[in-house]
A and B are shown apart, each in its own frame.
Chain A
């Protein structure tokens, strides 16, 4: 009887030495960059060296550009850090976008309604508390239903994004300034009341991101909570066996995850943009999911991954602008990079072996 089985088969690998793992990822990134430059060359007819130069210029061309690159990296990193504890527990929080927005909404609400009525320090405390609280609640709602009835987490958090977006859209009109513009405009533009700046206007998110990277790393790897998250993520049966209350851990972790997203919302409104729009998060809630995943939940790797994506993004925007092309060009490159990085994981986790020897034995 002739076997119809394919000549090769795929087996799970045990473990690759670290240098090989890094090697495979580096090759994937280099291939991705090669494809990206190829696409760029095709579109712009630039020579490769100029492409490279333009990207560098876009990201680091001036002091301001360097600051913006670092600031954007920090914001993306912060959201990635926020969603990571949930992922480590195998809870798909793709609602970072909505949690950031709702946090931003809360901060804006405080700024707009409390300005002139309370001292500035009180406003800042109130903003921080409400935005973190709102973000946390926004994430905990799907967690509650998942814990209780196993409601699909991916789809629920996804929908929560759009509910938050519409809520913000609604209040963008309630708070519109000037009347009839349909947008909020810069809040307290003249007085800068309630604006949180450290040194210059870029430093705040960078500092917060650095602190949060370390805090997240410690939380995930060295605390009792982090340990519980890891056990629940690996095996719910083991968690029950040692008496971990899975539903409680789930809700607690999502409160935390959402809380950090709310904090990002606060930073965006009070420290970076000083206004509230529906596109404030700008898809970074989704990009953060990919950053977290590609970094294997390691906060320090996330610094590099976020930087890589933001760097490309800035560079691509620079090229697009100088060729009066659309800035969405950077999204295409981001997509290509991610396809390569997630695709290469296969070669780390599995090995392909050929069946010819086995068949010779059986035949």
Chain B
């Protein structure tokens, strides 16, 4: 049993890391009253931008023969952040400045973002006239996968807590910082007020648009890192189309499951990560492979149950931000 857990838990955590990024990003966004259904698209864009940055760096490094670990880390990271930021700005421009419908904008962003990721992932080699046969960024991936040096020497403890790459710890750290920000700071208080009751916040002199832009853009950048982590660490630098799958939607589901709390989001992500791969461990015979697919349904069913229960219990803290999905327009007095 212990042996099983010590292999299962690290894998669940690795699965959970992209979800933490997505979930934390979406929580910040939703706290400002923006329901960003474009998160799946943003995570694809974050991933592919990192890939593009890394691809060109590896190409040029191969040509010049010099490879700097630091640049290999920094360039994809910055590309990823820039790409996701642009997506966030696009969403905000449409929904906050132009007051478009958030659901429609979000869905369009997901279509666009997933298409963007798959297109460049599938066409990068062709477009850059490279001699490579597929997008494999093994050198960058090695940099990203660097675990803590003493992880392997500490047995199960090291394996359980220390065997992950730096982005994994950043994910947890960002969730904790977001949690602190929301609970303990003035910015967090104002952000919550904006999402709950923009009219009240406006009357208190808070700049609604600025908070919505900031929260959504930062949220998108965090979510984008989830895509980067997936490609560089989990997928070992290999981009394959649609491999990221529905993790973006799962992240949105997680926001509900975590009842809009980034701290709760951490363990929920690990839980969902575990549920995501649970089918690999559950006893199924070769005759009943279909059960595995049913097991994959569990996270979504649980999310629905949580959604129903919170609406039935009607406990005010556990509700979505009251103005979620609505554009704010101060009528002329």
Question: In the complex, what residue of chain B is closest to A291 when comparing beta carbons?
Answer: B104
Q: A216 near B: Cβ within 8 Å?
A: no
> In this complex, which of A11, A167, A338 has the most chain B Cβ atoms within 10 angstroms of its Cβ?
A338
The answer to whether A173 and B297 touch (CB under 8 A), given A293-B101, A342-B100, A346-B100, is no
The reply to whether A159 and B311 form a contact with Cβ atoms under 8 Å apart is no
Chain B interface helix/strand/loop/mixed: helix
The reply to whether A334 and B297 form a contact with Cβ atoms under 8 Å apart is no
Taken together as a complex, chains A and B put the C-alpha atoms of A74 and B114 apart, in Å, by 24
- With a cutoff of 8 Å between Cβ atoms, the chain B residues found around residue A335 in the complex are 108-109, 111-113, 115-116
The reply to whether B127 and A346 form a contact with Cβ atoms under 8 Å apart is no
The reply to whether A331 and B111 form a contact with Cβ atoms under 8 Å apart is yes
The reply to whether B289 and A173 form a contact with Cβ atoms under 8 Å apart is yes
- With a cutoff of 8 Å between Cβ atoms, the chain B residues found around residue A332 in the complex are 112, 115-116, 119
- With a cutoff of 8 Å between Cβ atoms, the chain A residues found around residue B300 in the complex are 159, 162-163, 166
The reply to whether A326 and B307 form a contact with Cβ atoms under 8 Å apart is no
Candidates B35, B97, B116, B118; contact of A154 at CB < 8 Å: B35
Taken together as a complex, chains A and B put the C-alpha atoms of A332 and B253 apart, in Å, by 25
The answer to whether A334 and B115 touch (CB under 8 A), given A286-B110, A342-B94, is yes
Candidates B97, B105, B297; contact of A163 at CB < 8 Å: B297
- With a cutoff of 8 Å between Cβ atoms, the chain B residues found around residue A161 in the complex are 249
The answer to whether A173 and B320 touch (CB under 8 A), given A336-B112, A339-B94, is no
Query: How many chain B residues touch the partner (CB < 8 A)?
Result: 60
- With a cutoff of 8 Å between Cβ atoms, the chain A residues found around residue B317 in the complex are none
Q: A238 near B: Cβ within 8 Å?
A: no
CB distance from A297 to the nearest CB of B (A): 12
The reply to whether B100 and A343 form a contact with Cβ atoms under 8 Å apart is yes
Q: How many A-B residue pairs have CB under 8 A?
A: 177
Candidates B297, B311, B332; contact of A149 at CB < 8 Å: B311
Taken together as a complex, chains A and B put the C-alpha atoms of A159 and B253 apart, in Å, by 7
Q: What sequence of 0s and 1s flags, for each residue 287-311 of chain B, a beta carbon within 8 Å of any chain A beta carbon? A: 0011101101100110110011001
Question: In the complex, what residue of chain A is closest to B90 when comparing beta carbons?
Answer: A339
The answer to whether A94 and B107 touch (CB under 8 A), given A325-B126, A326-B118, is yes
The reply to whether B307 and A162 form a contact with Cβ atoms under 8 Å apart is no
Question: In the complex, what residue of chain A is closest to B302 when comparing beta carbons?
Answer: A159
CB distance from B52 to the nearest CB of A (A): 13
CB distance from A75 to the nearest CB of B (A): 16
The reply to whether A173 and B290 form a contact with Cβ atoms under 8 Å apart is yes
- With a cutoff of 8 Å between Cβ atoms, the chain B residues found around residue A94 in the complex are 37, 103, 107
The answer to whether A170 and B127 touch (CB under 8 A), given A326-B119, A335-B112, is no
- With a cutoff of 8 Å between Cβ atoms, the chain A residues found around residue B97 in the complex are 346
Q: B99 near A: Cβ within 8 Å?
A: yes
- With a cutoff of 8 Å between Cβ atoms, the chain B residues found around residue A149 in the complex are 308, 311-312, 314
Q: B123 near A: Cβ within 8 Å?
A: yes
Binding site for B on A (CB under 8 A): 9-12, 43, 92, 94, 145, 149-152, 154-156, 158-163, 165-167, 169-174, 182, 283, 286-287, 289-290, 293-294, 320, 323-326, 328-332, 334-336, 338-339, 342-343, 345-346, 349-350
Given A11-B332, A156-B304, A350-B99, 12 new contacts (CB under 8 A): A94-B107, A166-B296, A170-B290, A173-B289, A182-B289, A294-B104, A331-B114, A335-B113, A339-B90, A342-B98, A345-B98, A349-B99
Q: Give 28 pairs: A residue, B residue, CB < 8 Å, sorted on A.
A: A11-B332, A43-B123, A145-B311, A150-B311, A155-B253, A156-B304, A159-B304, A162-B246, A170-B297, A172-B290, A174-B290, A286-B111, A287-B107, A287-B111, A289-B103, A324-B126, A325-B119, A325-B123, A328-B117, A332-B116, A335-B113, A335-B116, A338-B108, A338-B111, A338-B112, A339-B90, A342-B94, A343-B98
